[in-house]
Structure 1
Amino acid sequence: MAMPTNIGIVDTMIGFPAEDFKMYDFIRAQLKDPSAKFDFPVEYMFKNVPKELYGSKDPISLTLHEMDRFGIEIAVIGAGGDVSTKALKDHPDRFVPMGNVDPNRGMDGIRDMVRQHETYGVRAFGAFNAGYNPQIGISDPLMYPIYAKCIELGVPIFACAGVPGPRFPMWPQEVRLIDQVMYDFPELVFVTRHGCEPWEDLAVKLMLKWPNLYYSTSAFAPKHYPEAIIRYANTRGADRIIYAGYFPMGLSLERIMTDMKSVPFNDNVWPKFLRDNARKVLKLGA
């Protein structure tokens, strides 16, 4: 049950410490509670956010250094922007690009998905339904062209599910909404992000029901992984749970990997959780 070493971890959510915190302005613009407008919009949820890393003159080297410290072979990063573009160009063996979607853009957004796929070779798209302005539910008709295009391009979608950290309404990310999407798009590979709480038991039920539904552990320190998810991984769900971190957005890799040693996964779960399931979903090969 001990966490193995030298496994070549795939981290399905990592980033680079930016020059400042302007990257979160799109979230702050929607917040009404003045007490919620931190540098990092969900700072109230995390201890020791690694803010001291922001402003680095060489954020790519910094992230690579942290990856090497903790055995992360490949990391999924957002496509677009000067830093990410340079990272993908200089280190194609270490970074995998993920595109973004915005259902409020209509067909312009769909055409942009194709552009991202052709320009960066994205292997997945990410959705933040509670964070769209205006908000759009996971099963809203405006999302359906996005799901169809993901299938057409042969890539999964990673979507935040559960109560969002920023202090705005949660309804767009209720886990029950995923059921209708999987019914309407059985070919879609759908990976949840950010915990699915407080509906993690429902998330497990839906994974039992839908073979293309997965769960990733982004934005959670491992000591807080839901018991239902650990139990599912150790029984019927070893092939469906995917590791994702949250560096440097809210957690240091040191915090994540220190906590990880205490997670009670069975021996057969570890390689699938840390590497194999992500490689399968992202089509990274053996």
Structure 2
Amino acid sequence: MGMPTDIEIIDTMIGLPSHDRREIYKFLSADLRDEESGTFKMPAQYMFKDIPAEIDADADPVAVTLYNMDRFGVAKAMINVGNPTREDPARAARSFPDRFLPCLDVDPRNGMEEIRRIKRYHEEFGLVAVTTFPAGCRTAINAAPYYPVYATCVELGLPIFITAGVPGPRVPLEPQKVEYLDEVCWFFPELTIVMRHGAEPWEALAVKLMLKWPNLHYSTSAFAPKHYPKAIIDYANTRGADKIIYAGYFPAGLTYERIMSELPNVPFKDEVWPKFLRENAVRVLGLG
């Protein structure tokens, strides 16, 4: 049968197009040492050949995103409402709560202030998840500064999406070694964890850890479907149908045209597709 066309897709990673993409990534500029990175509009530009274009100054980024979602059957999408450089994501979540699922990206280096920030945003928006980029925070997944964040997620009943594997931006990979998830899953069995951005080159280890830990999952963010790791596809088709969750990368690095043109060619079994496109996200994000 292949990929069904009648499922209301949930995308667990979306952004909004920008008039100036560089503004979004200013937080990384101090850590990017090579000369070429300074010329990029997004810090992993060398990895993507078809980065979505910036929009005109008079275009509404929320309207552009909704147009793309409607065009490609994306019913809901998870968006970071705490970006300090942009008010538009928060506006999207407030104006269209039936379409945008609010999450909050956090930096554990801010200590208790970040814990208070999580609780403040959760009270205001009703967060569905917390997200974090360990390499961007120069803090290992299993380092002490993350433990209060994990404990707060458990307290609030929120999953955390953690970027794992070699980062696209040219910053050190050490904070995102997949093996570090083993300790966190062990210490926080009540914490739902979702890996982001591939976990490569440790995707086989990611599968092994998902077999080991019931609270560990994987999302397909930042990968064009034709580049989904074989180990992940094989796992979804065998014992991992409940663990693999769809996430795109619009508009950071991929257009929906490319994602949705390649997605039907992913060799998932028929019974995997509904879980991958919607059901697993409903369960993990507590939308049921």
Question: What is the TM-score of this pair, normalised by structure 2?
Answer: 0.96
Q: Which residue of 2 aligns with 1:230?
A: 233
CA distance in 1 between partners of 2:124 and 2:235 (Å): 38
Q: Which residue of 2 aligns with 1:34?
A: 35
Question: Offset at 1:55?
Answer: 4.2
Q: Which residue of 2 aligns with 1:271?
A: 274
Q: Which residue of 2 aligns with 1:62?
A: 64
Q: Which letter does structure 2 place at the counterpart of 1:189?
A: T
Contact kept? 1:17, 1:56, Cα under 8 Å: no
CA distance in 1 between partners of 2:78 and 2:235 (Å): 25
Aligned pairs, number: 283
2:170 pairs with 157, 164, 167, which one? 167
Contact kept? 1:138, 1:173, Cα under 8 Å: yes
Q: Which residue of 2 aligns with 1:101?
A: 106
Contact kept? 2:20, 2:54, Cα under 8 Å: no
Matches within 5 A, 1:70-81: 70-80=72-82, 81=86
Secondary structure of 2:6's partner?
coil
Question: What is the TM-score of this pair, normalised by structure 1?
Answer: 0.97
Question: What do you get for the CA RMSD once the two structures are aligned?
Answer: 1.0
Question: Offset at 1:57?
Answer: 2.0
Q: Which letter does structure 1 place at the counterpart of 2:117?
A: D
Contact kept? 2:19, 2:54, Cα under 8 Å: no
Q: Which residue of 2 aligns with 1:176?
A: 179
Question: Offset at 1:103?
Answer: 0.9
Q: Which letter does structure 1 place at the counterpart of 2:62?
A: I
Secondary structure of 1:197's partner?
coil
Q: Does 1:113 align with 2:118?
A: yes
Q: Percent same amino acid among aligned pairs?
A: 57
Secondary structure of 2:113's partner?
helix
* Further displaced range: 48-57 or 275-284: 48-57
1:155 pairs with 118, 141, 158, which one? 158
Contact kept? 1:79, 1:122, Cα under 8 Å: no
1:203 pairs with 197, 202, 206, which one? 206
Q: Does 1:85 align with 2:90?
A: yes
CA distance in 1 between partners of 2:216 and 2:14 (Å): 21
Question: Offset at 1:222?
Answer: 0.2
Q: Which residue of 1 aligns with 2:19?
A: 19
Question: Offset at 1:56?
Answer: 5.5
Matches within 5 A, 1:242-257: 242-257=245-260
Contact kept? 1:102, 1:109, Cα under 8 Å: yes
Q: Does 1:241 align with 2:236?
A: no
Q: Deviation per CA, 1:105-157: give whole Å up to 9, x if none.
A: 1111111111111111111000100001xx10000011000000000000000
Contact kept? 2:115, 2:152, Cα under 8 Å: yes
Unaligned residue ranges in structure 2 (runs of 5+): none
Question: Offset at 1:220?
Answer: 0.2
Poorly superposed stretches of 4+, deviation over 6 Å: none
CA distance in 1 between partners of 2:245 and 2:124 (Å): 26
CA distance in 2 between partners of 1:75 and 1:55 (Å): 24
* Further displaced range: 272-281 or 43-52: 43-52
CA distance in 2 between partners of 1:19 and 1:110 (Å): 31
Question: Offset at 1:52?
Answer: 3.6
CA distance in 1 between partners of 2:188 and 2:167 (Å): 24
CA distance in 2 between partners of 1:276 and 1:113 (Å): 26
CA distance in 1 between partners of 2:142 and 2:202 (Å): 16
Q: Does 1:47 align with 2:49?
A: yes
Q: Which letter does structure 1 place at the counterpart of 2:24?
A: M
Q: Which residue of 2 aligns with 1:220?
A: 223
